[in-house]
Structure 1
């Protein structure tokens, strides 16, 4: 009986437990349903079509089937960051640095063609970069390149791009200046050129004298040889006119011209007022360019090979000697001799080289003006002077000297080029405080002081360090002479003055601008 009652109690407890669990489960289910219902009622997801009008427009709009560029800007993670960090270091080797410098240069130097840039290097401060480049002035007709290296201060512009915020002047980027060549280093180590200061050689200058080669090459060649005539020690214009005649005849005859590199400089161009012998052709003219554009051989090399050939062979070199200019190039056209030797032994003016190209010969001989360029060394000085004025200058050509003293031929020149007249005439032409370069043969340096009250006056003598004993020009001309110093003579000054004048933005000439006198004297206009 008792056992039966115990079992009945146990059944009641189990049933109650099942009811409780069922009630709890049902309550959880009801609560979950209520929660989901509340969320479903209150949650409103964004309408991808924004409105019914948008939906209607999408399905009714007629679009062009042609492909169109998507010009929208796609932004990624880095675009979400904050502004530029102006304190970060400038990476000079970054491509953006060079692009910023190129953009700055093109905008600032409109008269320059920039040809080659080197990779920028660090300057003296964290935000500075030094860079070098090669360039050419637009007013120069040759293809020759020049070199500059400057220092730039950089910052950051829009979109964190590099921009130039400041630039220093000509040759300021010393860290971008190339090192000396190995040949110069070796020469210094051997004690050679001990009196010559450190120089940086222009790799576009090649003054080496070409070697003729073997004896058979000499025998099979065809040469035109001019002996010295009355042109020697004449003024440089006379020399050039005669030399180009000789080169023109050599081209006409299809022969190699034998050139004498020794020049006698006329007293007109010397400080001693006397003719000066022993000047080197390469001081004044571009020998490398002449070698490239004309068939030439240097005289001493030619005579040495000629002598050597005759010494080693029983049969001598065939030579035709021509004793007068009256034997025309046309008469020599079919001559088979190895050497045509023109001799100028008659008195002046019968012994001038240029007489060969006169009369009927002028119709056949074309002077190769394109072969004769000014010395690259002198042109480097021209670029240096122009560059120091940032290529932003005006110029006036003031001719005085002998012409100003010869009142019979130029009656007004002296007065028209006086300091007072210059101030009066230039005021209406050149803006105040411009860089004004004065190209002149006036020997008195202070003659132009009146102009300094109106302009930033520059004279050639302001740049004496460019040919001084520590200059690149001085060092390289010393190499040509075997260590003998070379003076910066009157013709060199005239060449540099003229070229700086031509590069000016505004040019004022003596004749036709400053004076009514004729350039070649009275009654010649």
Structure 2
């Protein structure tokens, strides 16, 4: 129903393990897996076990050693440059072989001049300041066992086929603008079917709860084959802000890739929808079907022909949440499309820059402390198990050699807490890379465009998402629970 207007190519997604108190980990896992998925019609890529995906992305010493195994193929078959794994292969090769280039974003690879040639656009930061772009050719070889490897990278501007196409997908489209003869709504607005959720207790709650409700809403829209009308202005919970208060007016696009979501699903911003609705409903008599009880299942709405279904959430908690729609018998019917919710390109760029600075050669460890470490009743061992001495013992026990780069993702406010580890390892923390989101950064520039020219805080939720990706991309990954401590993630007797 909606025209896809811009493509960005990123990564990934893990599936949730549980709900309730586990929502924080639950969403973390989902978004990490989403990061791997990039902007493709990935098909069965999302069905691969996590172990296979991480093996695919495991960094090696150089790009010629990076191989992607493809089953059931012929050695002489042309390379599918639009394939998800090929994109990851080319991106990793670019980071490994072009170490002097500070890449921060890549475009979707396209076919080159022959069956073994792929062209890809990359954006990079110039040493003298500003952003520039390059497009290169990548020669890809397939072995007899169908493994793919990059065997050569062309010179600057050698991948001309990527230039024109990257220019097209990079261009933003204003509301109502006509592109190649197509409007924002490809078919007449009055023939479309739409779904909107109004109200709901998810507002100003932990982002984990918001996403649990969001995926239910998107899943119902897809089940009903309707366009989801989304409020892109969200309230960031005080648990994620430095001010300690809820903050209204945050933009969905600061955290998630809205443009990519519109590529994979039929979604429209409320700000674009309502003017069209007012115009066409008066002209063509469009009807609204109001639902004020979450117990009305998606299956009962399948036969509704009215143009707009509005679910209105009122009353008191716990009956005032979006996710209640997907409970009960709907749980077996609604598929939550976690794989379509990707980290925003702005956050992905920060994470990719940090990884590039470490030459894709480091180990990652997550050290969760904060309030949990203070609560001895629920987490009796966590404080001691996450001490610098205990972390060091675990690293050495896992074979992390002295002198290795180790990236620590943590909610410990005092970063000097980890100084003892610097005696043996080259420690990297998120705070060591503040220049990536400070006042003169690309991230700050992009956020000001989304925030009417005002600066935006690099808040706690953004930090979590960047930390997630950087740790997940390490050669060795050590988690707080199951690796550092025997305590249960959610407290005593809740493993």
TM-score category of the 2 structures, normalised to the smaller one: 0.5 to 0.7
Q: Is residue 106 of structure 1 aligned with residue 63 of structure 2?
A: yes
Give the distance between the partners of 1:131 and 1:510, measured in 2 at CA. 32
User: Which residue pairs with 2:470 in the alignment?
Assistant: 500
CA contact (8 A) 1:466 1:472 kept: yes
Q: 1:420 to 1:206 in 2, by over 3 A?
A: farther
Q: 1:131 to 1:426 in 2, by over 3 A?
A: closer
**Alignment partner of 1:318 out of 287, 305, 315:** 287
Give the distance between the partners of 1:269 and 1:176, measured in 2 at CA. 31
Give the distance between the partners of 2:93 and 2:481, measured in 1 at CA. 41
The DSSP-based 3-state class of the residue aligned with 2:90 is strand
Quote the offset at 1:355 in angstroms: 0.6
- Larger mean CA deviation between 399-408 and 457-466 belongs to 399-408
Return 5+ residue gaps in structure 2 as ranges: 1-60, 69-87, 108-119, 135-165, 177-182
Aligned counterparts, 1:358-373, within 5 A: 358-373=327-342
Q: 1:365 to 1:259 in 2, by over 3 A?
A: same
CA contact (8 A) 1:249 1:329 kept: yes
Q: 1:499 to 1:146 in 2, by over 3 A?
A: farther
Q: 1:283 to 1:304 in 2, by over 3 A?
A: same
Q: Is residue 469 of structure 1 aligned with residue 439 of structure 2?
A: yes
Give the distance between the partners of 2:459 and 2:275, measured in 1 at CA. 31
CA contact (8 A) 2:105 2:349 kept: no
Give the distance between the partners of 1:234 and 1:272, measured in 2 at CA. 15
Quote the offset at 1:204 in angstroms: 6.7
Query: Normalised by the size of structure 1, how large is the TM-score?
Result: 0.63
The DSSP-based 3-state class of the residue aligned with 2:249 is strand
Give the distance between the partners of 2:477 and 2:303, measured in 1 at CA. 50
Q: Is residue 178 of structure 1 aligned with residue 132 of structure 2?
A: yes
The DSSP-based 3-state class of the residue aligned with 2:304 is coil
Q: 1:437 to 1:512 in 2, by over 3 A?
A: same
Return 5+ residue gaps in structure 1 as ranges: 1-103, 137-144, 150-170, 181-200
**Alignment partner of 1:275 out of 220, 226, 246:** 246
Give the distance between the partners of 1:205 and 1:407, measured in 2 at CA. 51
CA contact (8 A) 2:175 2:184 kept: no
Aligned counterparts, 1:15-414, within 5 A: 105-107=62-64, 113-114=89-90, 147=122, 178=132, 211=176, 217-310=188-281, 312-313=282-283, 316-414=285-383
Deviations 1:454-477 (A, max 9, x none): 110000000000001111111111
CA contact (8 A) 1:321 1:340 kept: yes
User: Which residue pairs with 2:493 in the alignment?
Assistant: 523
Q: 1:132 to 1:283 in 2, by over 3 A?
A: closer
User: Which residue pairs with 2:414 in the alignment?
Assistant: 444
CA contact (8 A) 1:134 1:147 kept: yes
The DSSP-based 3-state class of the residue aligned with 2:89 is strand
Q: 1:400 to 1:206 in 2, by over 3 A?
A: farther
CA contact (8 A) 1:132 1:176 kept: no
Larger radius of gyration: 1
Give the distance between the partners of 2:123 and 2:239, measured in 1 at CA. 34
- Alignment length (residue pairs): 364
Quote the offset at 1:249 in angstroms: 0.6
Quote the offset at 1:425 in angstroms: 3.0
**Alignment partner of 1:488 out of 439, 453, 458:** 458
Quote the offset at 1:366 in angstroms: 0.6
CA contact (8 A) 1:146 1:383 kept: no
User: Which residue pairs with 1:417 in the alignment?
Assistant: 386
CA contact (8 A) 2:237 2:246 kept: yes
CA contact (8 A) 1:397 1:501 kept: yes
CA contact (8 A) 1:478 1:486 kept: yes
The DSSP-based 3-state class of the residue aligned with 1:477 is helix
CA contact (8 A) 1:146 1:380 kept: no
CA contact (8 A) 2:64 2:93 kept: no
Q: 1:519 to 1:297 in 2, by over 3 A?
A: same
Give the distance between the partners of 2:361 and 2:286, measured in 1 at CA. 58
User: Which residue pairs with 1:455 in the alignment?
Assistant: 425
Give the distance between the partners of 1:466 and 1:484, measured in 2 at CA. 17
CA contact (8 A) 1:114 1:133 kept: no
Q: 1:129 to 1:115 in 2, by over 3 A?
A: closer
Give the distance between the partners of 2:270 and 2:377, measured in 1 at CA. 44
Greater relative contact order, per chain length (Cα 8 Å cut-off, separation 6+): 2
CA contact (8 A) 2:288 2:308 kept: yes
Q: 1:202 to 1:458 in 2, by over 3 A?
A: farther
User: Which residue pairs with 1:29 in the alignment?
Assistant: none
Quote the offset at 1:269 in angstroms: 0.7
Q: 1:355 to 1:287 in 2, by over 3 A?
A: same
User: Which residue pairs with 1:82 in the alignment?
Assistant: none
Quote the offset at 1:382 in angstroms: 0.9
